[in-house]
Structure 1
Amino acid sequence: MIENYKAVYEGAEAEIIEKKSRFIATVFPVESEEQAIALIEATKKKYWNANHNCFAYIIGKNQEIQRCSDDGEPSQTAGRPMLDVLLLEGIHNTLVIVTRYFGGTLLGTGGLVRAYSKAVQEGLANSLIANKCLATKLCIETDYNGIGKIQYLLGQRKINTLSSEYTDRVEITVLVPISEKEGLIKAIIEATNGKAFLEELEDIYFAIIKDEVICFVD
């Protein structure tokens, strides 16, 4: 499993005008090629009177599936430049469709490449992008003498706490990025003289979105 990747969390639209041609970019989060194809068909129906509905999508944590279409524009002037923007941004599980209404003036191949690329960039800028990080859910159980030391370590490393329970002992569940797991566990054991009980529950992706921790089942 890769440690980090970016994906669209909430899609958006953006519109640009180039020599009276309208380029409308619509960005979607997608989890499968079937979902992407269905959204492409739905968008073509929505913009049934447009001259072109070009698209590009990348699916998979390793960007295994990559597809694009010029939809009638000159070869390599729309779909491929759109896909290149997604690749440059390191985006996963994302579909972008750019709808064009021709304004009467030819843009030339260079102009088309720039327009479609810019439309995708604007669409992504308006979307909410999640930076997903692979982490371990770690359950920590300790006595009240140890909790202060543990909380200091967590704060020092900016580790997110998912839940906490205070009874005769303290039990907290935290999200530890994979790259920091071994170091944190070692530090907790040393700080509590081995008295804290640690249990690794599961590995999961998470992202901080609008100051909130969001976990993903990938």
Structure 2
Amino acid sequence: MINSYLTIKKAGHSEISIKKSVFICSIARTKNEDEARTFIAKTKAVYPKANHNCFAYVIGEHNEIQRESDNGEPSGTAGVPILEVLKKNDLKDVTAVVTRFFGGIKLGTGGLIRAYTQSTVSTITAIGIVKCVLQKIIYLEVSYSQHNRLKIFLEQNNITLIKADFAAVVTLQVSVASTETIAFKESVIDFLNARVTFKEGPERYVEVDYD
């Protein structure tokens, strides 16, 4: 598993008009090719009278799967521009479909490339991008006398507190970036200057805002 990756914040779509042609870019997260194909098919079904439904998707930790289609537009004028936008934004596990309703005015090769690029960029900008960070669940067992101090430490260091259990000892469940696990433990020990027991849980991806 990679330490972090970028993807879209949510599924959505937006519309632009260029020389009477309407371009609607629909975009969604897709974890595999089956999900990508399903999303493409559903989008085509929404716009059955469209002249073109061009698409591109990138899937995999290292973008191992990349596909694109011009769907009847001149070769290289639609699918590739859509794919390039996804790659330039370093997005993973995303499928974009740009639907075109022809307005009667030909845009030419350069015009088509710019139109499909602009449509995809506009939608990604409107929806937003998030960073998915690989984090590890850690359980910290401390005495009741150290509980409040540990909470202060977590707040000062922006560590996410998931849950607190109060039994013979206090057990706090937190989420820490996997790459910072060792440093986190050392910092807690230094801060408390007291006995603390750590237990590691599973890893998971947590979404954070990306500027």
Give the TM-score normalised by the residue count of structure 2. 0.92
Preserved CA contact (<8 Å) 2:29 2:94: yes
Q: In angstroms, what is the RMSD of aligned CA positions? A: 1.6
Distance 2:45 2:202 in 1: 43
1:207 to partner: Cα distance: 1.3
Q: Who is 1:20 aligned against?
A: 20
Deviations 1:43-101 (A, max 9, x none): 22221211110001111122111100111111111110100100111111111100001
Q: Who is 1:212 aligned against?
A: none
Q: Who is 2:156 aligned against?
A: 156
Distance 1:23 1:113 in 2: 12
Distance 2:160 2:39 in 1: 35
1:167 to partner: Cα distance: 3.4
Q: Who is 1:213 aligned against?
A: none
Superposition pairs for residues 3-82 of structure 1, below 5 Å? 3-82=3-82
Distance 1:68 1:190 in 2: 53
1:39 to partner: Cα distance: 1.9
Distance 1:58 1:41 in 2: 17
Preserved CA contact (<8 Å) 1:52 1:100: yes
Judge which range, 42-51 or 85-94, deviates more.
Answer: 42-51
Deviations 1:9-52 (A, max 9, x none): 42111000000000011111111101111221222222121111
Q: Structure 1 unaligned runs (5+)? A: 210-218
Preserved CA contact (<8 Å) 2:68 2:80: yes
1:178 to 2:178 alignment:
yes
Q: Who is 1:96 aligned against?
A: 96
Question: What amino acid is aligned across from residue 86 of structure 2 in structure 1?
Answer: L
1:7 to partner: Cα distance: 1.9
The number of residues matched between the two structures is 209
Distance 1:93 1:115 in 2: 23
Preserved CA contact (<8 Å) 2:130 2:208: yes
1:128 to partner: Cα distance: 5.0
Q: Who is 2:198 aligned against?
A: 198
Q: Structure 2 unaligned runs (5+)? A: none
Deviations 1:105-134 (A, max 9, x none): 111111111110111111112325331101
> SS of the counterpart of 1:149?
helix
1:190 to partner: Cα distance: 2.6
Distance 1:158 1:2 in 2: 22
Deviations 1:165-209 (A, max 9, x none): 233421110000123211110111233345111001111111147
> SS of the counterpart of 2:125?
helix
Preserved CA contact (<8 Å) 2:133 2:208: no
Q: Who is 1:83 aligned against?
A: 83
Distance 1:5 1:188 in 2: 28
Distance 2:166 2:129 in 1: 36
Preserved CA contact (<8 Å) 2:136 2:175: yes
Identity of aligned residues (%): 35
Question: What amino acid is aligned across from residue 105 of structure 1 in structure 2?
Answer: I
Give the TM-score normalised by the residue count of structure 1. 0.90
